[in-house]
């Protein structure tokens, strides 16, 4: 197996304690082959981004991702083994957004440092549809967004008081920004989903008054007049032609880069289903004649059904079901943006958030977090200057922790195996590797193939490895007791 580990575990220290019960020698007994250095600290949230997870971990040149032929729950870059994607993303990481006009520039370099420090290797590069949008649903204030793919040349003014768009031309500066950010992420070992459109912005935050929507009547010099979500249907061929040209230009801009995925649109309404299917076909057909082909994704529609995602030709999906189990039909990136709205996350608390991340991993999917990052938002987020709100650190760290363990598993052969354990959360390649998540304190059972295994207990609450060693299993069903209270992760690997 090719190991894609981008950060390691710090030096071990501390005594061993009893970790298992049942058949075989107990850990700590020399006859069990226990290592003499059991406990330790798991580095999953600190650092500067300058380590192996940072500046020297470029994935440019690795080859574009494609669905893994052995285990289609994941992607591969073709070099052997799978590439597990997880991470957080925030709204202003491509188009600057603010109550100010013009908005201050987003510090993209600092953002990459932040992601690397949490061992995240994936984010969505957000786009927006309106220059002035009612997109924050708690303060009742419109935010300004720049830049846009088309130049504002006039003559005449759009509804936001600025020159009208010329939709027959494309603004190269916009596409240069897209490329520069994807390149910078690739140099840091990160994959980027380039979001092509945003349905939520038009369905739930449409501003017909002074929004300046490029396709809106009077907002362009091309005579196009399409309001809100109507633009994300196939009803107006002139609008679709402009959108198709923009999509082809995005592809031309990043096709040669290996760390690219595409996302058709963030949360369109149900009326956008056929339009999204059209855009998936457009991306695939246009890239088929180019040197590289990249994965195309479809995210949950609001309203909509996850069956619409499964019925599409998308390579990856982000469902609305927070407990969606990946069966290999699609690569599943389960994003809190669609499946676990922030009010639920906040009400459930950090321990449940962490539990969701690990259980999502054990279901063969990858957890993603819609991160408010440095944006103040009522009860949702309270950053201090350039320092994030620490409330969300538990979830951010949990994503990185799943990645570090994913990169130690042979995920081409370790598949969701809830039937093997009383916890219901297990990835297993029977006889080779088992990773079990225990969401609560106390013992659990695991059915294993008889043999000798190294073991590792990880304490997600403490963010540390509590104990390592080896154990010989003489019978298949075995009871395991974590050496600490709270949720736990057990990794077994055949010797």
Tens of pLDDT along 408-458? Answer: 999 999 999 999 999 999 999 999 999 999 999 999 999 999 999 999 999
Structure tokens at 240: 């679709």
> How high does pLDDT run on average in the chain?
89
Distances (CA, A) of 203 to 87, 247, 273: 26, 21, 14
3-state SS, 289-340, equals: CCCCCCCEEEECCCCCCHHHHHCCCCCEEECCCCCCCCCCCCEEEEEHHHHC
Contact 395, 353 (CB under 8 A): yes
Q: What is the pLDDT of residue 361?
A: 98
Under the banding of pLDDT at 50, 70 and 90, the label for residue 467 is very high
DSSP 234: S
Contact 304, 264 (CB under 8 A): no
Judged against a pLDDT cut of 70, whether residue 28 lies above it is answered with no
Spatial distance between the Cα atoms of 427 and 229, rounded to a whole number of angstroms: 41
Instruction: Write the pLDDT tens digit of every residue in 184-224.
Output: 999 999 999 999 999 999 999 999 999 999 999 999 999 99
Under the banding of pLDDT at 50, 70 and 90, the label for residue 57 is confident
pTM, to two decimals: 0.90
Percent of the chain whose pLDDT exceeds 90:
86
What average pLDDT does the segment 84-98 reach? 97
Q: How is 376-387 classified by DSSP, letter by letter?
A: -BTTTB--BTTB
Contact 239, 269 (CB under 8 A): no
Judged against a pLDDT cut of 80, whether residue 174 lies above it is answered with yes
Q: What is the pLDDT of residue 139?
A: 78
Q: Report which secondary-structure segment, H or E, holds 282.
A: helix 273-288
Judged against a pLDDT cut of 80, whether residue 151 lies above it is answered with yes
What average pLDDT does the segment 227-255 reach? 98
Q: What is the pLDDT of residue 30?
A: 26
Looking at CATH, the fold of the domain delimited by 20-45+415-494 is given as Immunoglobulin-like (2.60.40)
Neighbours of 131 (CB within 10 A): 28
Looking at CATH, the fold of the domain delimited by 85-406 is given as TIM Barrel (3.20.20)
What average pLDDT does the segment 146-158 reach? 98
Q: How many CA atoms lie within 13 A of 427 on its CB side?
A: 31
Instruction: Write the pLDDT tens digit of every residue in 99-108.
Output: 999 999 999 9
Q: What is the pLDDT of residue 466?
A: 98
195 Cβ contact partners less than 8 Å away, ≥ 6 residues apart:
94, 124, 125, 126, 127, 263, 265, 266
Judged against a pLDDT cut of 70, whether residue 391 lies above it is answered with yes
Q: Where are the domains of the chain?
A: 20-45+415-494, 85-406
Contact 47, 6 (CB under 8 A): no
Q: Which of 185-199, 251-265, 471-485 has the lowest mean pLDDT?
A: 471-485
Under the banding of pLDDT at 50, 70 and 90, the label for residue 137 is low
Sign of CA dihedral 429, 434, 440, 444: positive
Q: What is the pLDDT of residue 47?
A: 32
DSSP 245: H
Q: What is the pLDDT of residue 39?
A: 35
Instruction: Write the pLDDT tens digit of every residue in 368-382.
Output: 999 999 999 999 999
Contact 421, 437 (CB under 8 A): no
Sign of CA dihedral 232, 234, 239, 243: positive
Q: Do domains 20-45+415-494 and 85-406 have the same CATH topology?
A: no
Contact 395, 334 (CB under 8 A): no
Q: What backbone phi and psi angles, to 5 degrees, belong to 122? A: -155, 140
């Amino acid at each position: 197996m090719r190991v894609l580990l981008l950060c390691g575990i710090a030096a071990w220290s501390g005594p061993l304690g009893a970790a298992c019960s049942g058949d075989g020698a107990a850990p700590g007994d020399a006859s069990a082959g226990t290592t003499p250095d059991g406990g330790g600290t798991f580095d999953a949230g600190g650092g500067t981004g300058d380590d192996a997870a940072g500046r020297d971990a470029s994935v440019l040149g690795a080859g574009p991702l494609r669905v893994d032929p052995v285990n289609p729950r994941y992607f591969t870059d073709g070099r052997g083994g799978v590439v597990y994607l997880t991470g957080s993303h925030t709204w202003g990481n491509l188009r600057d957004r603010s109550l100010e006009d013009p908005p201050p520039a987003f510090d993209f370099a600092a953002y990459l440092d932040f992601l690397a420090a949490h061992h995240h290797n994936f984010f969505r590069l957000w786009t927006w549809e309106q220059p002035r949008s009612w997109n924050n649903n708690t303060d009742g204030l419109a935010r300004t967004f720049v830049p846009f793919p088309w130049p504002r040349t006039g003559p005449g003014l759009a509804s936001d008081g600025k020159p009208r768009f010329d939709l027959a031309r494309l603004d190269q500066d916009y596409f240069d920004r897209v490329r520069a950010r994807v390149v910078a992420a690739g140099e840091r070992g990160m994959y980027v989903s380039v979001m092509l459109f945003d349905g939520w912005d038009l369905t739930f935050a449409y501003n017909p008054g002074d929004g300046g929507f490029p396709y809106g009547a009077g907002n362009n010099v091309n005579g196009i007049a399409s309001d809100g979500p109507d633009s994300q249907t196939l009803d107006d061929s002139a609008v679709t032609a402009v959108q198709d040209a923009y999509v082809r230009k995005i592809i031309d801009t990043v096709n040669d880069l290996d760390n690219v995925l595409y996302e058709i649109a963030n949360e369109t309404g149900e009326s956008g289903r056929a339009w999204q299917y059209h855009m998936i076909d457009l991306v695939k057909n246009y890239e088929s004649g180019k040197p590289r082909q990249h994965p195309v994704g479809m995210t949950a529609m609001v309203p909509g059904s996850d069956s619409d995602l499964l019925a599409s030709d998308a390579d990856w999906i982000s469902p609305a079901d927070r407990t969606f189990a990946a069966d290999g039909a699609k690569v599943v990136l389960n994003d809190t943006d669609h499946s676990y709205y922030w009010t639920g996350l906040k009400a459930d608390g950090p321990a449940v958030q962490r539990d969701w991340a690990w259980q999502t991993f054990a279901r063969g999917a990858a957890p993603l977090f819609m991160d408010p990052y440095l944006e103040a938002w009522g009860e949702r987020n309270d950053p201090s200057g350039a320092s994030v709100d620490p409330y969300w650190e538990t979830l951010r760290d949990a994503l990185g922790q799943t990645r570090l363990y994913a990169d130690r598993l042979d995920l081409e052969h370790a598949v969701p195996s809830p039937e093997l354990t009383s916890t219901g959360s297990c990835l297993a390649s029977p006889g080779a590797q088992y990773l079990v998540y225990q969401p609560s304190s106390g013992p659990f059972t695991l059915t294993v193939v008889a043999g000798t295994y190294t073991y590792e207990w990880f304490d997600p609450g403490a963010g540390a490895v509590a104990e390592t060693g080896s154990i010989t299993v003489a019978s298949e069903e075995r009871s395991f007791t974590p050496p600490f209270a709270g949720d736990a992760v057990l990794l077994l690997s055949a010797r």
